[in-house]
Copies of this chain bind each other. A is one copy, B any other.
Amino acid sequence: MERLLVEPFYVMKVLERAKELEKRGEKVIHLEIGEPDLPVPNKVKERALELLKSLELKYTESVGIYPLREAISSYYEREYGVKVEPERVIITPGSSPGLLALLKVAFEFLGEVSYSDPGYPCYKNMVKFLNIKGRALKVFPENQFKVEAKDLKTPVLIVNSPSNPTGSLYSKKELSKLAEKAFLISDEIYHGITYGQRATSVLEVSENCAVVNGFSKFFLMTGWRLGFLIVPKEFVPQITAVLQNIVISPPTLSQFAALACFEEETLRELKENIKVFKERRDLLLKGLKEIGFKVPVEPQGAFYVFADASKFTDDSFSFAFEVLEKAKVAITPGKDFGSNGTEKFVRFSFCTSKRNIEEALERLYSYLR
């Protein structure tokens, strides 16, 4: 029982140690967490309060309430100009269980699944959990850590644009090329959070693909645990049967409250937040470079900087702990995102205030220079 079945998040060890330091009264600055610090939209909270007073929170359909499926369908039409019947939208308790169900169904009916290294760790871990065939595709800074069509040998590929941890954005043309060679599972959880051009949805380039998305990043509803899938029509009965069995239904209050996300006022507020993220990004990028980190790919989306720390270390796992002990700044070791060159990298998140970012940069500067 020593060996772990699926890899844990190594950053949790950093977080554990950070908590110990905090118990001793130290002030740690958290740049490891991928959770927006901004508060949930007002309208969502108001709606939830009203509902909680008037509604008994019973199970809903396993695929979620129809009005929310409709609202997401309209949102994708408005944002991306794609027509998706509400029946193809499936609400899930967070995007993770949705991806898990989708991966299983896609593998059984299409075959082996590829994902990038470095990339979001849950892809490989879910593949392992499901005991299905998966393949890591090495990606490199030279191509902005993006998968290239020529390297793709499996019938299914997970793409993540904007990407965690690198912030890379796939162009419409790049997505098209990939979609010609494989069934794409497009993790669009960071959509809405981009700095410059907007993100392309895989639905704009292909009919035969699936989207994983949710309410935890752009919509700021992390602890509400709500996600969604958009899948081809023939996947719907499959995914429905799986979700009935593995989750029963998504949280009821979150589903009804999330309807408020799509009101004009809320969307406007949420879009305003991107300016805040952009300022933080620019500040962090500039500071990290001054200290001596290399940033081969400046993030075009999401809220992370994937920084090359080879000036300071060839073991970024130990480096993360060293920086925590000495500078009291918590960061995520590259190891969490794969094994392809990740010993040189660390991930900085900018889910905290400019003031905190400034202080973190000062601390890092003092310790590392």
Contacts and interface: CB of A to CB of B under 8 A. Distances in A.
A105 interface: yes
A253 B254 CA distance: 10
B8 A237 contact: yes
Contacts of A12: 244
A223 interface: yes
Given A57-B224, A130-B131, A248-B96, A105 B49 contact: no
Identical copies of this chain, number: 2
Contacts of A240: 8
Nearest to A131: B131
Given A104-B129, A223-B57, A246 B39 contact: no
Interface string A300-333: 0000000000000000000000000000000000
A213 interface: no
Given A131-B132, A223-B253, A224-B252, A246 B57 contact: no
Contact of A242 (B6, B105, B237, B254): B6
18 contacts: A4-B241, A5-B104, A5-B242, A6-B241, A8-B237, A8-B241, A49-B49, A49-B52, A56-B223, A59-B222, A93-B247, A97-B97, A104-B129, A130-B131, A131-B131, A225-B247, A225-B248, A251-B251
